Structure 1
Amino acid sequence: MKKTSLLILFFFTVFISFSQETAYDLKDLVDMRASSLDNEMGNRGYDWIKTEKSGYNSYQNWWNNRKNKCVTVRVSDGKVKSIVNVPDLDCNKSRGNQNHSNNRGEFHHSDDNERNHDNYQTYVNGPATSVYRKLQDDNFKEVKVFQKDGYTYKLWYKYRTKECLKTVSYDYKLTKILFSHHCDENL
């Protein structure tokens, strides 16, 4: 029993220390204005993956394809507070299935063979977060995100039924929800 407890404590300590390790190559960005973060991260080869909010903080996940590295940036009060290395899964990546191609946003260019998804059309022109919650409630998982020219493109996949959907939003409003054939590229 004592050996098992020590082993569990060891793995827990290793996991916590890895997940909280400062990203030393980015430590000079700590305390910078958050408004400059996108350009600076892009200049260093990082692509934005997602942002989540908790209280007064926002947590941005960024992926560097060259380094196969995921980091989380904590922003509060308009400033970067910390940047830590996190597991690849936080950037929707896995070690066994790295996406080395630079097709992070290519899925949004083609609506060929994609048609509207009737079950969710009532959400069009409404808040994008409402349809995101509904998709999650319906067991869809977000598998890819891309932003360009103010638009946010997301791919959603339901593993049980192998359905793939694409949402397009602008200024936090849903503009389209379509069936898609591009989820396979990302799984």
Structure 2
Amino acid sequence: MPDPLVRDATTDDAAACAAIYEPYVTGTTVTFETDPPDAAEMRRRIAKAQARHAFLVLEEDSAVVGYAYAGPFKERAAYRWSCEVSVYLSPDRHGRGGGRRLYEALLAQLKARGYRMAAAGMTQPNEASARLHAAMGFEPIGTYRGIGWKFGAARDVTWVQRPLGDPVTPGQDPPEPT
């Protein structure tokens, strides 16, 4: 069997990405969305992420089985070198290295575009996500207690972050992300 392929997503991948994401929305607290996005909304999200950050898919046997993307951490100008990242895999692909492959490629693209910091939020408990992020060099920075509400209970979200690239000389702004 050939190695899975990580590639830039296109809007043609929207239906597959929406199908991967739907069970996370409807059956887990991994995401705080409550209504699964349809293919049209996922096309919009892919295009938006590709314009300034990145959106990648994992393909096995010509089928999309996972995706990872980045978006702005916050909208204010001071955060423009930071981004928030996420990864989702088809349930039958967990624990097979796909998340790592996606994140390796995603973080490399973000670094090449000039981003300096990646952050991710993980609804608790989520040991699999915590292991993946730790393996990718993310460090815990704190937990928001009871910050979100889903399935009848308040949920905690732990945040992790990882630098992208070498430190910048104090007193100088890094080059603008492209």
TM > 0.5: no
Q: Greater relative contact order: 1 or 2 (C-alpha under 8 angstroms, separation 6 or more)? A: 2
Tell which structure's C-alpha radius of gyration is larger: 1
Q: TM-score, normalised by structure 1?
A: 0.26
Q: TM-score, normalised by structure 2?
A: 0.27
